[in-house]
Amino acid sequence: MGYELSKQLDYKATSVKTPLGESKTALHADQIVVCSILRAGLPLHNGLINCFDRAENSFISAYRHHTSATEFEIKVEYLATPSLEGKTLILADPMLATGRTFINVLEALKPMGTPAKIDLVSVIGSQPGVDYLKGVLSDEITLWIAAIDEKLNEKGYIVPGLGDAGDLSFGSKMQN
């Protein structure tokens, strides 16, 4: 996904010193910040940093706080980020279910500056979540998504989906 996203970046001709001489190449001109939504976004973050090794790192936590069996709100509690002013923000979350996490995180990032570009990266999502984002985000924000499942269940989970990406990567959440 990082490779596909890299095709829309701006590039500039540059000379690079190698151990055996100098090489002319094109390097991306964008100042990139890769921001991952914790904890599920960490494996995706690592892959994106492999593509954009000069990118700055940013992390934000967001989770579902269930108010009933079928209702929840998205809580954002932790943010560590450099300034986003004039930079290309790549916001990574492997699952796009309702789309509300991306919206809440973008709102939480506003005090950090206005990015020149915003790219949302997700591995799997739901059609309702994609439709929701298309309805509330500007056309200047690009969504990169590998697979889209057709629906959500009554709890707002992607069907058939994969389950909780954080649990799949790191094991079950700790119980309080």
- Mean residue pLDDT of the chain comes to 88
Specify if 138 maps to a domain: yes
Task: Find residue 17's DSSP bridge partners.
Answer: 22
CATH number (domain holding residue 161): 3.40.50.2020
Instruction: Say whether pLDDT at 93 is over 50.
Output: yes
> Mean pLDDT, to the nearest integer, of 27-41?
88
Specify if 22 maps to a domain: no
Using one digit for the tens of pLDDT, what is the confidence trace for 106-161? Answer: 999 999 999 999 999 999 899 999 999 999 999 899 999 999 999 988 888 888 77
Instruction: Report how many domains make up the chain.
Output: 1
Domain that holds residue 68: 31-169
Distance CA 125, CA 147 (A): 6
Specify if 45 maps to a domain: yes
Whether 59 contacts 53, CB under 8 Å? no
H-helix or E-strand spanning residue 47:
helix 42-51
Specify if 25 maps to a domain: no
Specify if 5 maps to a domain: no
Specify if 127 maps to a domain: yes
Task: Find residue 22's DSSP bridge partners.
Answer: 17
Instruction: Say whether pLDDT at 83 is over 70.
Output: yes
Specify if 157 maps to a domain: yes
Residue type, 133: L
